[in-house]
């Protein structure tokens, strides 16, 4: 809301005709006349809309444009601006407002376009709803396949002939406990995701299904004599905290990117836990340690696999090229952090004399 916009200081003031919505006496900013129809197909306002007394003020980068509101025409103009969100074509707007005189709406859109106050969504490089997600998933899996093939932790876990130190298996459980007991910090921001009610319902269901996974890791660690109190006094590896911090940052400040990797993270963790469980069974680890891991895997296996990411991306009209490129760069960073998480488990626990990195011992 503008408190005061002196008419004499607003060189872009435009009075709207009460009968046809078309600017009647355009000032300097709207003086160019064209005979052709507007080429904007899906108009979307690229400015702020404010009401001031009997005017609609369009504000952009220090420039203000005013349209007079007079009677029914003024009400129609307000509604027209509110519906210019890129989801309706110009022809649709013409049908809604003046099907008998489409040139009235066309004139408004043309003038806005000439002043740079409007975008044409149709001219943007729009992909099908799921294309951006598919591209990111393909890139993620390509990078992951390469990292897994070179990661010493997964080489040993997946090899039936390896002499895997049992401390590495225990270390994996310890670091996953630390990770999962902090998981709510990057899950909870998604519970309030405003773009989709359906998504909020699904993420809440997923949150409930996965609640308590840290307790299953804790139950496994109880079997080898590690208590909750000892774990509270234990520092996770720096790479574990790096993964946690990165996901927490993205959940809070880059929610769409976080959603683009959420499905991958969920499914990959399931496959990781399956491979880990098979390694535990192969090395004949204590059954009291293995049983909670089995429960964790079976719970994830039986739980409804909801593609939360697709749910959101199908409701997004457009992801611009700059955002897509930024997401691709962050995928590389995510995979590097994810890979380092597992490398660190191997590097530390394969040679550590003590399983726990106690804070009190520093």
**Token pair 């009677």 is at which residue?**
71
- C-alpha count within 13 angstroms, C-beta hemisphere, residue 265: 21
pLDDT on residue 19: 37
- Which pair of structure tokens corresponds to residue 358? 């106690």
Average pLDDT of span 108-129: 70
Q: Look at domain 131-349 and name its CATH class.
A: mainly alpha
pLDDT on residue 25: 35
Average pLDDT of span 168-188: 89
Phi, psi at 118, each rounded to 5°: -145, 145
3-state helix, strand, coil in the chain (%, to 5): 60, 10, 30
pTM score over 0.85: no
Q: What are the structural domain ranges in the chain? A: 7-123, 131-349
For 244: left if phi > 0, alpha if psi spans -120 to 50, otherwise beta; the answer is alpha
Which of 151, 361, 177, 156 lies closest to 275, judged by CA?
Answer: 156
Write out pLDDT tens, residues 59-83: 887 788 887 776 656 677 878 888 8
Q: Are 264 and 362 in contact (CB under 8 A)?
A: no
State the DSSP code for 292. Answer: H
The domain made up of 7-123 is a member of CATH 3.30.160.270: no
């Amino acid at each position: 809301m503008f408190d005061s916009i002196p008419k004499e200081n607003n060189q872009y003031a435009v009075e709207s005709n009460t009968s046809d919505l078309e600017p009647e006496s355009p000032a300097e900013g709207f003086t160019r006349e064209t005979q052709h129809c507007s080429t904007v197909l899906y108009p979307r306002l690229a400015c702020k809309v404010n009401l001031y007394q009997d005017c609609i003020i369009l504000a952009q980068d220090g420039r203000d444009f005013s349209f007079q509101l007079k009677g029914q025409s003024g009400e129609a103009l307000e509604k027209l601006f509110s519906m210019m969100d890129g989801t309706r074509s110009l022809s649709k707007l013409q049908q809604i407002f003046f099907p008998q005189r489409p040139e009235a709406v066309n004139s408004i859109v043309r003038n806005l376009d000439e002043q740079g106050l409007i975008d044409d969504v149709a001219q943007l490089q729009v992909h099908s709803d799921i294309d951006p997600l598919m591209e990111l998933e393909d890139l993620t899996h390509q990078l992951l396949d390469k990292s897994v093939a070179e990661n010493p932790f997964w080489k040993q876990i997946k090899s039936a002939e390896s002499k895997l130190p049992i401390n590495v298996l225990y270390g994996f459980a310890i670091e996953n406990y630390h990770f999962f007991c902090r998981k709510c910090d990057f899950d909870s921001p998604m519970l309030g995701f405003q773009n989709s009610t359906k998504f909020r319902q699904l993420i809440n269901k997923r949150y409930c299904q996965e609640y308590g996974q840290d307790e299953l890791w804790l139950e496994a660690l109880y079997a080898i004599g590690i208590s909750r109190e000892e774990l509270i006094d234990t520092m996770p590896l720096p790479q574990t905290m790096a993964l946690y911090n990165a996901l927490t940052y993205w959940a809070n400040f880059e929610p769409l990117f976080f959603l683009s990797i959420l499905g991958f993270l969920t499914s990959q963790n399931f496959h990781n836990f399956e491979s880990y469980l098979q390694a535990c069974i192969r090395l004949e680890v204590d059954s009291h340690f293995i049983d909670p891991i089995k429960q964790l895997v079976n719970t994830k296996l039986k739980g409804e696999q909801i593609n939360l990411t697709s749910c959101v991306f199908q409701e997004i009209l457009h992801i611009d090229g700059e955002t897509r490129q930024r997401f691709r760069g962050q995928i590389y960073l995510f995979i590097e952090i994810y890979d380092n998480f597992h490398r660190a488990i191997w590097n530390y626990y394969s040679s550590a004399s003590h399983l726990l990195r106690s804070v009190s011992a520093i």
